[in-house]
A and B are shown apart, each in its own frame.
Chain A
């Protein structure tokens, strides 16, 4: 025992004092306090979230594309369930008694105290019936949710959808809580923060049976929900629907842009699917059908597929050649029906021993001409080495939007960068430390080989040609409610590296493509509209893909478009007619009588199967 042993009383005293303080406070709280007496009568304070209605989506002509529709969920709190008429409930909801049992068991396993969803998205008719009889089913209650609906039943890829937040969303943004809906894909995703609005909170006093007994403190703490803002797209809904119809029974894509603004007019990926398939109770079932479909309808080809650009790429090489001064407007290169190098050759569909001119090279798509131009570009003495020449070539391509992320307003991850191989890429796979030789990568001259371009990039490049040297970043949203203008980046032109003075002969060549007697797209000519285009064939493992890219009118262009039809071989057979029909529809609003046969031919063409595709409408 030491001299401080008395201090145990002081320490014990401190303990006792704190304990006593607690007891006094608890006495006050549990017995005396009147504010909590109110709750003692089994009333509980509950925080109810007020969900805002999600913003609507309109097309460029203010036609409604996406709106909200009420859906009803039936929830159950297992602890409060008493014996009830199971048969009656099954009859109202039109579900099996087995499903009801397993559903109830699942809910109980999850929690006996917390409500869980038993049946979701009940139709309004069933809901009305159920609401009448609900008092017979203690422990069950309904909750209203809004789901999306689509009057046009098109543009599913572009619009995206909404679905419950996942754990990643919850972690990333504190706004969400479990069970909330969030934009999944497309515009719904990239404009989520505009569309979602702001949740509100209402404090309610409820009794133990979850019945509302009134607001708390006269509602002074409540915050009201703020509805989501509406969004107007650059998309023309009729054009979009028409495009999807023309592409039915074909694989491929259409992307059309207004070159003067960068506004995307339509973006079709085929096979398309009806967006209403992914709402309602059949959602899960439909989704797995779409997912398993070998034609990959869920895959957005317009933004995510990467094809070689084929001959449509030749204009880029012509422009780079002019800019680097390795050719000029008067350059003539003889073509003997093929480009010969070493003991190999690369064929050409055309022949001109007296020398192909620049305009003719575009018009006739002369392979020989472009193989030579490509060599001149890479081997130009001013660069010293082929590798340096190649680096310079890439620089020009990037300025045309090839091989780069365009920074559009499509969700990141839904827009592919494409492939313009870097010097490292060829260093590793082709040259492997040896001296660079332009002939080894000669297929780049005619848009084949490793090159990968998305349909969106190809259209953007055509808009760049139409504008004679600049483009506007493609975007799908024209206006957001409550905002004066869209993002800055869409408003200023992206200036390319090629002087605008070099464009005229190339555009003249493209114009002649649509002219008889020898233009490859002469069948697709639209009387009264000066169209400039270029057909192409994208080499593929199987049957080649058909490509056509064009803009119109020749002066002050209003539309730039590219069409890919997979496994259709020639650009002139399907891609060009479809592109011309879209352009005609956009510029003239209807298809003239003399071209109705072409429209019918395109609509009827089936390149996928002889059977019926259930998912197309």
Chain B
């Protein structure tokens, strides 16, 4: 029954994809072949005994990691990323398959007897399981795909990872965006003021608040004065950095001695943010590639670039916007047909839906995805083995990440990262990997009762 329900949803998704791919005359045939192959793969996945997945999690993970490593040396470079194996007829992207392999490995690890998420040992192991493929994919020059692994935090959250981590993740994101938007100095000022406010409200009471504040302000002014006098060339930014970090450290040590737990935490967050601010700037300038920088800058509105990256997003929004309420009708889109939208059949497939089916179509599609995702979450929840549950959550979260980023980028809510929309985008590797991802879970779900 459950299986049938899922297959029908899956089929519905398939049908839509089928139709929206029809207009890509050259790719249509290939995609059909891939769909058939995907069905075969899916069937194969269902036939295999579920114990196999449990038993072979680590070997599968090891093999895909090796493939990721191999592609670094033997792969073909496409669009600046060396992440493809060119096998003549088809091109395979190992990073696509690394997703389910990582999910399997993570599920296996967390289902271990007496597993505790907060133990340092397990945190490190999980970090390694996620970190290895992530690092290899970054090395391939495909930082976008590597970001997918961040979503496993959500899975671990379900397994008991403290909500604080999620909160920190949010904080990190905020500081990241602020740093790029405002520059390090300004963020430093904001973080300092934030730390002071937190210190004020949560700190040890009003008695000791005024003194350190005066000290800090005084030394900041002094340093500025000295800087001006001797023209050290520090500027206000570094003066602030020096005073705030030193006073932060002093208060931190003080709080440790006097066991003011709150103050300790605040200062740790503060110092961490300061370090992070600078590392973000460094990473942004030195690690990211030019096209990734420009995509993030564009999203933040820092640069207006109507001819480069912005052109893509602009065209994509125009296509979606021109769809109106009901759309122009099947195959009637003009924007997408003239190839105004780049990589339209792969990453910008959502534009076609938006233009041809309008608001009704896009909303329906989003609802379908949401229903599908939440259904997956509830299915995962009813699993009896930890392995199946963790794996189910992984599937849901990976699909969610793709869904969020892919649609988000076409309507300028997320940076343009070249990741496909599950089951919709053109391309064999991604279709197969999503099929494998999903069908392994369906198989696990089907054997839920046998496990008793």
Contact = CB atoms under 8 A, between A and B. Distances in A.
Interface of A: 2-5, 7-8, 10-12, 14-16, 18-19, 21-23, 25-27, 29-31, 33, 35-37, 39-40, 42, 44-47, 79, 111-114, 201, 208, 221
Nearest to B317: A29
Given A46-B340, A113-B337, A36 B318 contact: yes
Going nearest first, the 9 A-B pairs with the smallest beta carbon separation are A36-B321, A39-B322, A113-B337, A30-B359, A19-B370, A40-B322, A40-B324, A12-B374, A8-B381
A221 B339 CA distance: 20
A15 B368 CA distance: 12
Contact of A11 (B160, B311, B358, B377): B377
B413 A22 contact: yes
A14 B328 CA distance: 32
A19 B323 CA distance: 19
Contacts, number: 121
B363 interface: yes
Contacts of A37: 321
Interface stretch (B201-209, B252-260, B282-290, B403-411): B403-411
A22 B158 contact: no
Contacts of B303: none
Contacts of A30: 320-321, 323-325, 354, 358-359, 362
Contact of A31 (B317, B324, B334): B324
Contact of B154 (A14, A33, A113): A14
A562 to B, nearest CB: 48
B12 interface: no
A8 B400 contact: no
B367 interface: yes
8 contacts: A5-B381, A16-B374, A25-B413, A26-B363, A26-B366, A29-B411, A31-B359, A36-B321
Given A19-B366, A23-B363, A39-B321, A45 B340 contact: yes
A26 B362 contact: yes
B320 A201 contact: no
Nearest to A4: B160
Contacts of A31: 324-325, 359
A168 B75 CA distance: 20
Interface string B9-37: 00000000000000001100000000000
B243 interface: no
Nearest to B374: A12
Given A22-B366, A30-B359, A42-B334, A11 B158 contact: yes
Contacts of B321: 29-30, 33, 35-37, 39-40
A21 B363 CA distance: 11
Contacts of B192: none
A463 B98 CA distance: 68
A44 B335 contact: yes
Interface of B: 25-26, 154, 157-160, 306-307, 311, 315, 317-318, 320-325, 328, 334-335, 337-340, 354, 358-359, 362-363, 366-367, 369-370, 373-374, 377-378, 380-381, 393, 396-397, 400, 403-404, 407-408, 411, 413
Contacts of A46: 338, 340
A7 B374 CA distance: 13
Given A40-B322, A113-B338, A19 B369 contact: yes
A14 B170 CA distance: 13
A201 B159 contact: no
Given A5-B381, A8-B378, A36 B307 contact: no
A18 B377 contact: no
Given A29-B321, A39-B321, A114 B339 contact: yes
Contacts of A12: 373-374, 377-378
B322 A21 contact: no
Nearest to B160: A4
Nearest to B327: A30
Given A25-B413, A30-B321, A30-B325, 18 more contacts: A4-B158, A4-B160, A5-B381, A18-B404, A19-B370, A22-B366, A23-B363, A23-B366, A25-B411, A26-B354, A30-B359, A39-B318, A39-B322, A40-B322, A44-B322, A45-B340, A113-B339, A201-B307
B158 A221 contact: no
Contacts of A23: 362-363, 366
Contacts of B397: 11
A115 to B, nearest CB: 9
A33 to B, nearest CB: 6
Contacts of B159: 4
A16 to B, nearest CB: 6
A27 B377 contact: no
A29 B322 CA distance: 9
A19 B367 contact: yes
B320 A7 contact: no
B403 to A, nearest CB: 8
A31 B323 CA distance: 9
